[in-house]
Amino acid sequence: MTLVERYGLPPEEIERRSFEIIRGLVPDLSGTPEEQQVRVRMVHAAGDPTIARDVHIHPRAVEAGVEALRSGAPIVTDVRMIAVGVSPGHCERLGVRVECMLDHPDVAARARAEGTTRAIAAVRLWGPRLDGAVVAIGNAPTALLALLDLVDAGVCRPALVVGTPVGFVNAAESKEELRRRDAVPSITVAGWRGGSTLAVAALNALLRLATGIHGYLG
């Protein structure tokens, strides 16, 4: 018997068993059923049930995100990794385009001129175009800080910010600053942990809800 024959399962069965295991390991998920769907999918993406307690979902985050996606608001990301991970089928059904801020042709030149990171330059270049968008930042804490500076200055107000930058320098601080801004609905993860995979998991959960899929499977 090969290893694939021994362990291999259909994708639907793998997903079903995964969510059963998660619910067994994290039986006391807080929030609405829709918030729980987002939280469980983020746990699934992390492969770590302990992250459930660090996932923070603003009281209006799911509603705001689903409403924005149903209205065709764009998803704007800080890195291509998130852009390619978002479900193209759900985006197509909703008429949602996915764009990466780093794809702006003037990013590198602005970063050099201002002596900043490309992530900061990209956010500043997009500026007002982020108003009403679903913004996902899963890599660079500086991108999230730059976005919050724009929000504070009244330049833009995203419909939702999925902020999960990862790392040991300013990642925890940037996400704490995001949670302090109650006027901005957000989904984030406290502390050093995070990453693009968690942002993708949250976005795909919201896209499923926006297309009318409730529950973990389907």
Catalytic residue ranges: 44
The structure tokens listed for 55 are 């996932």
- Centre a 10 Å sphere on the Cβ of residue 149 and count the other Cβ atoms it contains: 14
Please state the separation of Cα 106 from the chain's center in Å.
Answer: 25
Local structure of residue 199 (DSSP, 8 states): H
- Centre a 10 Å sphere on the Cβ of residue 48 and count the other Cβ atoms it contains: 13
Local structure of residue 73 (DSSP, 8 states): P
Single-letter amino acid, residue 88 = P
Backbone angles phi, psi at 208, to 5 degrees: -60, -45
C-alpha to C-alpha distances, 66 to 38, 54, 75, 202, nearest whole angstrom: 12, 22, 12, 11
Q: Taking a C-beta distance cutoff of 8 angstroms, is the pair 116, 98 a contact?
A: no
